[in-house]
Chains A and B, each alone.
Chain A
Amino acid sequence: MKKLLVSVSATVLLLSSSLAISQETLRVLTWKGYAPAKLVKDFEKETGIKVKLTYSNNEEMIAKLRATRGAGFDIAQPSQDRIAFVQRKYPIYQAIDFSKLNTDQLITSMVDAVKKNSGVDGKAYGVPFCYGTTGMIVNKKLAPDANDWSDLWNKKYAGKISYRLKRPTLIATAFGMGKDPFALYNDKKAYKALMKEVETKLIESKKYVKNYWTSGDTQIEIIKSGDANVISGWDGKGWSIHKDNPDIDFIAPKSGALGWIDTFAIPAKSKNVDGAYKWMNFMLKPENAAYFTNKEGYGTASKGADKFLSKEIKDNFSRSFSKEDIDNIKWHPPVPDGFEKIEAKVLDRIKAAK
């Protein structure tokens, strides 16, 4: 019996010692593509910190961090509009200490915007990393006239339409109907009424939809395979398809592309806060930020990255965005608490409709 106890406790000891971290690690909760392998390698070489990546999206990030009350990851990358209301309800992040950040290499206007939008009680919880737009990806040979959100319910493209059944589509539909949903963010009742109209519109036109895409990969798949010609999509994805198939390209819808900014945020129980700041400073260094942008196509919040960008990336932008299109980008303001509940019901009813 005694022997057994000894061996059991020895095993336990052995297990716990092997679990102990022998090397400094940084656990990054991010989106696919936001931490290119080359940059991770360079960072590990430069700092000696081992990087562990977990890929996720906005909804899952919030759920994961909420489940652990902000533990399990050292740095996360939520969109700027999804920080403040979450932070107010479940304190899963810690405030950003801008003195630890090399702010010289950041675009000041973006930092200020994110500071404001991710702010709770005078403290900021986000640092801008990259930005992009949600617009449309169109097969220009087969659907040359598609140029607005309203084409997502245009009978002309029946059976060849696809979009993601998530909140950006509801917002886009409202803009396509000539409304401004962001103006109603302080009026829950009016917003609810508007969402009802959006619901009716999308259920009515559901028969024209080929399928709802669900991720970056399925988004590419459905238009590349020819199953759809007119879809909602992200600029970086559209441009990457354009490289292989020049007929397909990203366009900014007439009624306004939706602009998003993804950030760095530090979970409340991060075990490596210093490493997190090192990672931010490293990723936003002009050369590194430019490497990311050249690879993924999304714009960067790094100030000096411009001169390292490839011609192709610059061409992409000027091809899809005229001066007017840029002025017309609708940047996502922070989502008020409780609004996603309204939207979720709407989304459920659309999905369940015949």
Chain B
Amino acid sequence: MKKINSTLYLLLLPVLAWLIISIVVPHLDLLFKSFRFENDDGLMVFSLNNYLAFFEDEIYWLTFVKTALYSIGITFLAFVVTFPVAFYLTKVVAKKYSSFMVLLLLIPIWIGELVTIYGWMILLSDSGVINQFLLSIGIIDSPIEMLYTNFSMTIGLLYMSMLFMIIPMMSALESLDDSLIEAASDLGASKWTIFRQIIIPYTIPGIASGSIIVFMLVIGDYVAPNILGGKSSLWFTEQIYNEFLSTFNWNEGAAFGFLLLLLSSGIVWLALKLTGQKLDRVGS
């Protein structure tokens, strides 16, 4: 028994070393940096100023609030859009086709976020596919402005995060016994009642874990808001990027990074509380 243990630890060593060197140490370094502040004499001192700056300067916290609200909205949209798909794939379509269809869902992820975003640019631009089509059949006289707006940014973020909502919901739906639905139906429940009283309560853990993943992905995304978003779409991650790369103020950037982590975790915690979910149930 003892021998197995030591071998096990030895095998774990590379993983542990990797985790510590590439994740734990840099985070500690950033945490340390976030409390260092350059005072007026040009000296680095220990201070909370980097964190206070977030609350004092309204441009920072307003950006965060906007980012958070959009992320919540996109998470909800992702649920609305993907729930029918997940239900169809698990309950309606024949088993032999469903795995092929799941494969189709995966394909956009293989292409990579940047390429799909450029794809959306081709579709949405003033001289793009959609506008050209609408112009040619005479529905509109001048191109609708879609690209570089909050609309195009929402679409891009929604598109890249949908899959992460579908998969957890599918696994929750798969274990739902069809006879429950049949029984409810036999007892005279309407479709809406079945949906509300049986399907939703049963799938809630899947919905919750999907929502957490999507919310975290969206609030931490940089590429889609930066490329598809318009002139006013300052995302909080862009602000962190700017602190690191334009201002060379790594201390402020580190503080913003930790604030993003803390505040978004807080939002997830609050959402779980409000909906009466427990994290351990969501995880399973």
A-side residues, CB < 8 A to B, are: 1, 4, 8, 59-60, 62-63, 66, 165-166, 206, 209-212, 214, 218, 221, 225-227, 340-341, 343-344, 347-349, 351-354
Inter-chain contact B231/A227, CB cutoff 8 Å? no
Q: Does B203 touch A at the CB level, under 8 Å?
A: no
B239 at the interface (CB under 8 A from A): yes
Decide if B127 touches A227 in the complex (CB within 8 Å).
yes
CB-CB under 8 A from B244, the residues of chain A are: 63
Tell me whether B6 and A1 are in contact (CB under 8 A).
yes
Give Cα A8 to B12, complex, Å.
Answer: 13
Cross-chain contact B246 with A59 (CB below 8 angstroms): yes
- With A348-B234, A351-B232 already in contact, the answer to whether A214 and B226 are too (CB < 8 A) is yes
Chain B residues in contact with chain A, CB under 8 A?
3, 6-7, 10, 59, 62-63, 121, 125-127, 147-148, 226-227, 230-232, 234, 238-239, 242-249
Contacting residue for B246 out of A214, A225, A344, A353, CB 8 A = A344
With A351-B234, A352-B232 already in contact, 16 other A-B pairs whose C-beta atoms are closer than 8 Å: A1-B6, A8-B10, A63-B248, A165-B231, A209-B231, A210-B231, A211-B148, A214-B227, A221-B121, A227-B125, A340-B247, A341-B247, A344-B242, A344-B249, A348-B234, A351-B231
Report 7 cross-chain contacts, Cβ distance below 8 Å, ordered by A residue.
Answer: A63-B245, A210-B148, A225-B127, A227-B127, A340-B247, A351-B232, A351-B238
> B148, A225: Cβ atoms under 8 Å?
no
* Interchain nearest-CB distance for A54 vs B (Å): 15
- CB neighbours (8 Å) of B234 from chain A are 348, 351-352
B3 in contact with A340 (CB, 8 Å)? no
Max chain B Cβ within 10 angstroms of own Cβ: one of A211, A340, A354: A211
Give the dominant DSSP class at B's interface. Answer: helix
Closest to B59 in A: A352
Q: Are A340 and B246 in contact (CB under 8 A)?
A: yes
Minimum CB–CB distance for B225 against chain A, Å:
11
The answer to whether B10 touches A225 (Cβ under 8 A) is no
Pair A348/B242 contact, Cβ less than 8 Å: yes
The answer to whether B232 touches A353 (Cβ under 8 A) is: yes
* Main DSSP-derived SS at the A contact region: helix
Given known contacts A4-B7, A352-B62, is B248 in contact with A62 (CB within 8 Å)? yes
Q: B125 contacts which chain A residues (CB < 8 A)?
A: 225, 227
Contact A354–B248 (Cβ < 8 Å): no
Residues of A within 8 A of B63 (CB): 352
Q: What is the chain B residue whose CB lies nearest that of A165?
A: B231
B248 near A206 (CB under 8 angstroms)? no
In the assembled complex, how far is the CB of residue A312 from the closest CB belonging to chain B, in whole angstroms? 28
B231: chain A residues at CB < 8 Å are 165, 206, 209-212, 351
The reply to whether B226 and A354 contact each other, CB–CB distance below 8 Å, is no
Q: Which residues of A contact B245 (CB under 8 A)?
A: 59-60, 63
Cα distance A351–B243 in the bound complex, in angstroms: 14
A19 to B283, CA, bound (A): 40
Residue among B121, B232, B242 making CB contact with A347, cutoff 8 Å = B242
A211 and B7: CB pair below 8 A?
A: no
A227 CA to B127 CA, complexed, in Å: 8
A225, B242: Cβ atoms closer than 8 Å: no
Contact between A227 and B247 (Cβ–Cβ < 8 Å)? no
Residue of B nearest to A212 (CB): B231
Q: Are A227 and B126 in contact (CB under 8 A)?
A: yes
The 4 nearest A-B residue pairs measured at CB: A211-B148, A344-B247, A59-B245, A351-B234
Contact A348 B239 (CB under 8 A): yes
C-alpha gap A341/B238 in the complex (Å): 16
Q: Say yes or no: B249 contacts A341, CB within 8 Å.
A: yes
What is the bound-complex CA distance between A229 and B28, given in angstroms? Answer: 48
User: Across the two chains, which residue of chain B brings its CB closest to A58?
Assistant: B245
- CA of A264 to CA of B19, assembled, Å: 37
Contacts A63-B248, A210-B148, A349-B59; A354 near B242 (Cβ below 8 A): no
Identify B7's interface contact among A1, A165, A221, A226, CB under 8 A. A1
Does the CB pair A225–B7 fall under 8 Å? no
Closest to A228 in B: B126
Q: Given A211-B231, A348-B242, are A66 and B148 also a contact pair (CB < 8 Å)? A: no
**When the two chains form their complex, are residues B248 and A226 in contact, meaning their CB atoms are under 8 A apart?**
no
A348, B126: Cβ atoms under 8 Å?
no
A231 to chain B, nearest CB (A): 13
What is the CA–CA distance of A8 and B232 in the complex, to the nearest angstrom? 54
CB neighbours of B227 from chain A (8 A): 214, 218
Residues of A within 8 A of B242 (CB): 344, 347-348
A165 to B233, CA, bound (A): 13
CB of A55, distance to nearest CB on chain B (Å): 14
Q: A206–B231 Cα gap in the complex (Å)?
A: 8
Minimum distance in angstroms from B21 CB to a CB of chain A = 15
Q: Would B126 and A66 count as touching, CB distance under 8 A?
A: no
Q: Give min CB distance, B124 to chain A, whole Å.
A: 11
CB nearest neighbor in A for B60: A348
Measured CA separation A62–B126 after assembly (Å):
36
Taking CB atoms, residues of chain A closer than 8 Å to B62 are: 352
Query: Given A1-B6, A351-B231, are A226 and B246 also a contact pair (CB < 8 Å)?
Result: no
A342: nearest residue on chain B (CB-CB)?
Answer: B247
- The residue in chain B whose Cβ has the minimal distance to the Cβ of A159 is B145
Listed residue (A59, A210, A348) with the most chain B CB atoms within 10 angstroms of its CB: A348
Which A residues are in CB contact (< 8 Å) with B226?
A: 214
CA distance A352 to B63 in the complex (A): 7
Q: Given the complex of chains A and B, what is the CA–CA distance between A75 and B6 in angstroms? A: 46
Residues of B within 8 A of A341 (CB): 247, 249
Given the known interface contacts A211-B148, A214-B226, A226-B126, the answer about A66 and B10 at a Cβ–Cβ threshold of 8 Å is no
Q: How far is the CA of A104 from the CA of B248 in the complex (A)?
A: 37
